[in-house]
Chains A and B, each alone.
Chain A
Amino acid sequence: MNQHERILLLLLFSPLMLFAGLNEEINSLLYEAYGNECQIELSSISLSAGIIESIEKKCKQKFYREQLNCYTITTESGDRFTALLDNVYGKSLPITFLVVFDEQGTIDNSFIVKYRETHGYGVKSKEWLKQFTGKNQKSGFTPGTDIQGVTGSTISVRSVSTGIKKLTLLYNFIQKK
């Protein structure tokens, strides 16, 4: 293989390297939370117009895309969890986040996978995200009332809180299916 062919090959595959990068980050977060022996299966969910309309109306926030990544996690002891990956806008850029549900639809974990803004990093902190653990579709997600704020992250706090609520409602739809 000559130099030009090698460059062409790397350029062609570089976008795949990126997807791998994001998934590697997600896998790393999930392995840390559920053990290195857990099994993770990736699938994609297409949202119907009806589901989108119903959830967006309740949450007053739009879905970022009509397709979401879904990760099914099976731990070494056989417990099963489902993680949904979505994005919400912060002040100006998308925030990629992952919410993990147990089989009853209760939030078991939440993670900020990629934070593109240049300030307001407080929403990335594990301490802040812990507030969502234990919540379900009947819980309150209102910042200031149900969710503590973060100084300097007002808009990100509101976006992420609503985004997590959105996925909690969505999980309920998926379960019914």
Chain B
Amino acid sequence: MLKNSISLLISLFLASTLSAQDDMFFEKGGNLGGYGELHYNYVKPENGETTKTLDFHRFVLFYGYNWTEKWSFKAEVEIEHNFVADDHGELELEQAYINYKHADWLNIQVGVILPSVGLLNEFHEPPLFLSVERPDYHKNIIPTTWFGNGLAITGNYKAFDYKLTIMEGLNGNKFSESSGIRSGRQKGFKSNAENLLYNARVDYYGVSGLKTGISFTYNKAFHEIDEIPFTLVEFHSTYYKDNVYAVFEYGNISYSNYEIEKSYGFYADLGYNVGGLLGINGELIPFVRFTDYNPSAVTKSGGDAEIKYHNSKWMIGTAFKPIPEVVFKIDYSSQKTELGDAKVDYFNIGAGYMF
């Protein structure tokens, strides 16, 4: 009896496995994607020399292969600044992972992966943000693009979407007052796995046009003297409906055993697609942005150290998307640093694509 029951269970398991893997519309094979962006940057400091730069900032190729509807591989290789030699440019393997999709609510990634922190770390193709350069917040508070070796579990249930990541931690020896945790990324290069990093994010998109979410990240960054535990909590939200385009992101990093005790930053975008009003094919989105960030907001020593890297910036600009995958952008911004009231003006023009 027991033997029969076991054999029936095995039979049912085999059958269900086969049927689960056999998708009437699935065809195995590879696929190619990518994005790129060309920038013109004009930088005029109040005191100092004006610079003008023309830079093919990023060229990214994405390759994926689907063996079955459940098992796939995804990879992304990036060249920054068009040329790699000595200290110029970067060649990075930003993603390379095996993916197993058990169901919409359970998907597993193993390899070089991206933690889910903020709106742009995972999805940063040029048509997805309005400014020519990525928002300053995503450089100075969230170290976009943040990638490394590890494992992630993602999924979707009704209007909720989540991601849990366990991956290499950060190198605390490279933390700095000017850019917080940014330089601590190990980027998957023979990573020190002494202290793993834990990241959890949940998003909600049950209201038409709205996507909102929060993430929490914890790691004891390794350090030659004493580990630096830190937590990063961030909130992000986008609203895009009836031609209104609004974005808000806020992030806070709390450190222990370190000169910096707190970093914070936020930015808000408000734009309106006037393409329809002007009878233009595509989206034409004039926008305004306010950014404020301080990687050394609270320090042990206090004083000028807490205002030296406190920057605020107003930006106005326009993004034109003739089709959703191609964008042309122009923006002007004025940045003020609290210490010394130093000002810098920026004027940028860009073109970007994704496929």
B31 adjacent to chain A (CB < 8 Å): yes
A93 and B69 within 8 A (CB): yes
Which residues of chain A have C-beta atoms less than 8 A from B156's C-beta?
A: 121, 124
* Segment with Cβ contacts to B, from A14-22, A70-78, A103-111, A163-171: A14-22
Establish whether residues B15 and A157, one from each chain, have CB atoms under 8 Å apart when the complex forms: no
Answer whether residue A46 sits at the interface, using C-beta atoms and an 8 A cutoff: no
B15 touches A125 (CB 8 A): no
Known: A144-B273, A154-B325. A118 touches B11 (CB 8 A): no
Is the pair B24, A18 in contact by a Cβ cutoff of 8 Å? yes
Which of A3-11, A27-35, A36-44 is the contact stretch?
Answer: A3-11
CB <8 Å contact, A144 and B282: yes
Which of chain A's residues have a CB closer than 8 A to the CB of B89?
A: none
Number of B positions contacting A (CB below 8 A): 59
A52 close to B (CB within 8 Å): no
CB <8 Å contact, A17 and B205: no
Any chain A CB within 8 A of the CB of B26?
A: yes
Contacts of A87 in B (CB 8 A): 25
Min distance, Cβ A35 to any Cβ of chain B, angstroms: 23
Query: In the complex, what's the smallest C-beta–C-beta distance from A57 to chain B, in angstroms?
Result: 18
B8 engages A6 (CB within 8 Å) = yes
State how many angstroms separate the Cβ of B118 from the closest Cβ of chain A: 12
- Chain A residues with CB under 8 Å of B238's CB are 151
Question: What are the residues of chain A within 8 A of B24 when measuring CB–CB?
Answer: 18-19, 22
A7 touches B11 (CB 8 A): yes
Q: For the complex, what is the distance from the CA of A130 to the CA of B241, rounded to whole Å?
A: 13
Say whether B15 contacts A116, CB under 8 Å: no
Does B99 sit within 8 A of A, measured CB to CB? yes
Residues in A neighbouring B240, C-beta threshold 8 A: 148-149, 151
- Indicate whether A92 sits within 8 Å of B66 (C-beta atoms), given known contacts A14-B18, A118-B101, A154-B127: yes
B contact set with A: CB distance below 8 Å: 4, 7-8, 10-12, 14-16, 18-20, 22-27, 31, 33, 64, 66, 69, 72, 99, 101, 104, 107, 109, 119, 122-123, 125, 127-128, 154, 156, 159, 161, 205-209, 211, 238, 240-242, 273, 275-276, 281-283, 321, 324-325, 354
Q: Which of B11, B20, B25, B276 counts the most A-chain CB atoms under 10 A from its CB? A: B25
Contact partner of B18 (CB less than 8 A), chosen from A11, A130, A143, A150, is A11
Flag if B12 contacts A148 (CB, 8 Å): no
Is the Cβ of B161 less than 8 Å from the Cβ of A121? Answer: yes
Contact B208 A15 (CB under 8 A): no
Answer yes or no: A137 CB below 8 A from chain B CBs. no
Decide yes or no whether A63 CB sits under 8 A from chain B: no
**B119 close to A151 (CB less than 8 A):** yes
Q: B208 to A127, Cβ gap below 8 A?
A: yes
Counting from the closest, the 6 A-B pairs by CB-CB distance are A10-B15, A121-B156, A92-B31, A127-B208, A14-B19, A14-B18
**A45 nearest CB across to chain B (Å):** 16
Given A116-B26, A125-B159, A154-B125, do A21 and B19 touch, yes or no (CB 8 Å)?
yes
In the bound complex, what is the Cα–Cα distance between A122 and B99 (angstroms)? 20
Cα distance, A149 to B15, chains bound together (Å): 40
Cα–Cα, bound, A175→B283 (Å) = 35
Cα separation A92 to B28 with both chains bound (whole Å) = 10
Knowing A116-B69, A125-B159, say if A143 contacts B19 (CB, 8 Å): no
Interface string of A37-74 (1 = CB under 8 A from B): 00000000000000000000000000010000000000
> With A92-B31, A122-B205 known to touch, is A144 a contact of B283 (CB < 8 Å)?
yes
Among A6, A91, A144, A155, max chain B CB count under 10 A is at A144
Do A10 and B127 form a contact, CB below 8 Å, given A18-B19, A125-B206, A148-B241? no
**A144 is contacted by which of B8, B64, B275 (Cβ under 8 Å)?**
B275
Q: Which residues of B contact A128 (CB under 8 A)?
A: 208
Q: Which residues of A contact B12 (CB under 8 A)?
A: 10
Q: Do B324 and A158 touch across chains, with their CB atoms under 8 A apart?
A: yes
The residue in chain A whose Cβ has the minimal distance to the Cβ of B64 is A92
- Least distance between A83 CB and chain B CB atoms (Å): 16
- Of the listed residues A21, A118, A130, the one surrounded by the most CB atoms of chain B closer than 10 A to its CB is A118
| Residue A176 CB within 8 A of the other chain | no
Please measure, in the bound complex, the distance between the C-alpha atom of A145 and the C-alpha atom of B282, giving whole angstroms.
Answer: 7
- Bound: A21/B18 CA distance, A: 13
**In angstroms, how far is the closest chain A Cβ from the Cβ of B228?**
31
A154 and B128 in contact, given A118-B99, A127-B208 (Cβ under 8 angstroms): yes
